[in-house]
Amino acid sequence: MSDRAFHRWSPAHGWWTMVRPRAALLVGIGLCLAASGVVVAAVGMPDMAIVTDPVGGRVRSVVSGGPAWRDGLRPGQIVVALQPGSQPVDWRIVTRADGLTFASSAAAHVQELRALVPVQLLALAAGLVAAMALVRWTRPAAAAGALIGVVGAIPIVQAGLDVSIAASLGALFLPVLWLEVFGGWPRRSRWLVLGAAVAVSAAWLLARALGSSVFDAVDTSERAATLAASVTVAWMGYGLGPGALAARLRRLPLPTAIDLVSLAGAIAAVAVLALLDRLFWPPVLLVFVTAVVLYPRWRRLSYRALARLITSEVRERAAMGAVEDERRRLANEIHDSSLQELAGVIQRLEMHPETEQEAAALRSVARELRDVVTDLHPPVLQDLGLAPALAVLVDGVRQRRPTFTVRLEVDNRTGALPAQRLPRDVELAGYRVVQEALNNSVLHSGGTGVSVHGLLEPGLIDLVIVDDGCGVTEGRLAEAYRAGHLGVASMRQRALAVSGELAMRSGPTGTEVRFQWRRG
For residue 12, count CB atoms less than 10 angstroms from its CB and return exposed for 0-12, middle for 13-18, buried for 19 or more: exposed
For residue 38, the model assigns a pLDDT of 92
The model's pTM: 0.49
Tell me the CA distances in angstroms from 520 to 242, 317, 391, one per residue in order. Answer: 6, 19, 27
For residue 5, the model assigns a pLDDT of 38
> Coil, strand or helix: which one is 510?
strand
- Mean pLDDT of the chain, nearest integer: 79
For residue 18, the model assigns a pLDDT of 41
For residue 240, the model assigns a pLDDT of 55
For residue 200, the model assigns a pLDDT of 92
pLDDT, tens digit, 9 for 90 and up, residues 93-148: 999 998 899 999 989 999 989 988 888 988 888 888 888 888 778 888 899 999 99
Pairwise CA distance, residues 358 & 345, whole Å: 10
The conformation of residue 512, written as its DSSP 8-state character, comes to E
For residue 482, the model assigns a pLDDT of 54
Pairwise CA distance, residues 154 & 168, whole Å: 8
Tell me the CA distances in angstroms from 436 to 212, 369, 390, 426, 465, one per residue in order. Answer: 75, 20, 12, 15, 10
Q: Are strands 449-457 and 405-412 parallel, antiparallel or unpaired?
A: parallel
Residues in the chain predicted with pLDDT less than 70, given as ranges, are 1-20, 85-86, 239-252, 254, 267-268, 270-285, 288, 307-339, 370-377, 472-487, 520
Pairwise CA distance, residues 72 & 69, whole Å: 5
Instruction: Using the CB atoms, write b or e for 405-426: b if 16+ within 10 Å.
Output: ebebebeeebeeeeeebbeeeb
